[in-house]
Structure 1
Amino acid sequence: MPTRVHEFIWPDRVIVGTMGLPGSRTFYLQVRAGRQIVSIAFEKQQAALLAEKVDEILDQLMALEGNPFSVPGSTPIELVDNDQLEAVQEQFRTGAMGLGWDPTTAQVVIKAYPITDVDDNDDEDVESPEGIDPDADEMLLVSMPVGSARAFAKRTREIVAAGRPMCLLCGYPMDADGHTCTLPEN
């Protein structure tokens, strides 16, 4: 069966948002173009790394001598998006992700693949690197312009940072219902 590609070339909206309370939040990458909306679940660490790498790509482009692309150093105010997730229907839980740059369209490209269960593989001689299934049923492909990419990275960092506060003594997250601090021994 061919892979179903959820492709967004010039999306109206690309955001990371969460559902649930800090400490038990589910992170979603949500993309919308017109009436088409795709939401994929992924881990907080994936969200943080994605924002970091998007900014790295944009910063490298800014520093590139002779760069023909106009890359903003900060988020353009008109692209700030602080609205909530729209109706969430999880398409899949993300396993592997890829990130790149398309110079033909001057866009940052995100690829996301569903998490695969390597144990379900009947052929023990074939291994799936990092959970990527070459025969995946579906994938998400998002291309976004540099201004939208900068806004995406900023919002994602803010969403990741909005979790549970850290204990000043032990450095571990504190839950709303209490925290047992385990101080390191000297």
Structure 2
Amino acid sequence: MPTTVHEFAWPDRVVVGTVGIPGQRTFYLQVQTGKQIVSISLEKQQAAQLAEKMDEILDQLITIDGNPFHVPASTPIELVDNDDLEPVQEQFRAGVMSLGWDPTTAQIVIEAYPLEEVDPDDDGFLADDDDADPSEVLRVRMPVGTARAFTKRTREVVGAGRPICVICGQPIDADGHTCTFPEN
């Protein structure tokens, strides 16, 4: 079966957002060009790592001698997107994700592949007739300014969860918190 590729070369919008209340949020990477919108769910930690690694790539590009690309050191304010997600129709749940740099277009590239379901009866080895190609992939290319704005928003979304208890370090739920800090 051929792989369905959801490709966004110069998206109008690329953001991480959530649906649900803190403690029960589902994270989404949503990409839009015109009326085409693709939303994939991902783990909070995947979103955090995506922002961290993207900032690392951008920071490395700034330090390259003779770098012909203008990479902003901070977020261009005109690119900040604090709007809510568009209505979400999940395309797939992200499993493996990759992040890279395309010097020919001066863009950051994100690729996301669906989380593969594991058969509990499977021995962990692929049979010769198993299809090694993923069923679909999301490929997003974004310019460096958009990438900086993406990382800023993603960090804010990830950090907007439940507050942390200063005593035990565990998240505090909206319906209360019983501290598990051991008494002396």
TM range (shorter): over 0.9
Which stretch of the first structure deviates more once superposed, 176-185 or 14-23? Answer: 176-185
Match of 1:175 in 2: 173
Q: Secondary structure at the match of 1:163?
A: coil
Q: Secondary structure at the match of 1:110?
A: strand
CA distance in structure 1 between the aligned counterparts of 2:175 and 2:65, rounded to whole angstroms: 53
Match of 1:21 in 2: 21
Identity %: 72
- Whether 2:107 is the aligned partner of 1:98: answer no
* Cα distance, 1:119 vs structure 2: 2.0
Letter in 2 for 1:165: P
* Cα distance, 1:180 vs structure 2: 0.8
- Shift in CA distance, 182/138, structure 1 to aligned 2, threshold 3 Å: same
* Cα distance, 1:120 vs structure 2: 6.9
* Cα distance, 1:21 vs structure 2: 0.1
Counting only pairs closer than 5 Å after superposition, residues 96-135 of structure 1 correspond to structure 2 as: 96-119=96-119, 125-126=125-126, 134-135=132-133
Match of 1:49 in 2: 49
Q: Deviations over 1:2-28 (max 9, x none)?
A: 000000000000000000000000000
Letter in 2 for 1:44: K
Letter in 1 for 2:179: C
- Whether 2:156 is the aligned partner of 1:136: answer no
RMSD: 1.7
**After TM superposition, what 4+ stretches of structure 1 lie above 3 angstroms from structure 2?**
120-125
Match of 2:78 in 1: 78
- Shift in CA distance, 78/36, structure 1 to aligned 2, threshold 3 Å: same
Letter in 1 for 2:72: P
CA distance in structure 2 between the aligned counterparts of 1:113 and 1:64, rounded to whole angstroms: 31
Match of 1:155 in 2: 153
Q: Secondary structure at the match of 2:126?
A: coil
Letter in 1 for 2:167: L
Match of 1:89 in 2: 89
Q: Deviations over 1:30-84 (max 9, x none)?
A: 0000110000000000000000001000000001111110000111011010000
- Shift in CA distance, 180/107, structure 1 to aligned 2, threshold 3 Å: same
Q: Deviations over 1:105-161 (max 9, x none)?
A: 00000000000013278685328xxxxx83211110000000000000000000000
- Shift in CA distance, 149/77, structure 1 to aligned 2, threshold 3 Å: same
Letter in 1 for 2:93: R
Unaligned stretches of 5+ residues in structure 2: none
Q: Secondary structure at the match of 1:155?
A: helix
CA distance in structure 2 between the aligned counterparts of 1:134 and 1:8, rounded to whole angstroms: 24
Match of 1:6 in 2: 6
Q: Secondary structure at the match of 2:119?
A: helix
**TM-score, reference length from structure 1:** 0.93
- Shift in CA distance, 99/123, structure 1 to aligned 2, threshold 3 Å: same
Letter in 1 for 2:61: L
CA distance in structure 2 between the aligned counterparts of 1:123 and 1:2, rounded to whole angstroms: 26
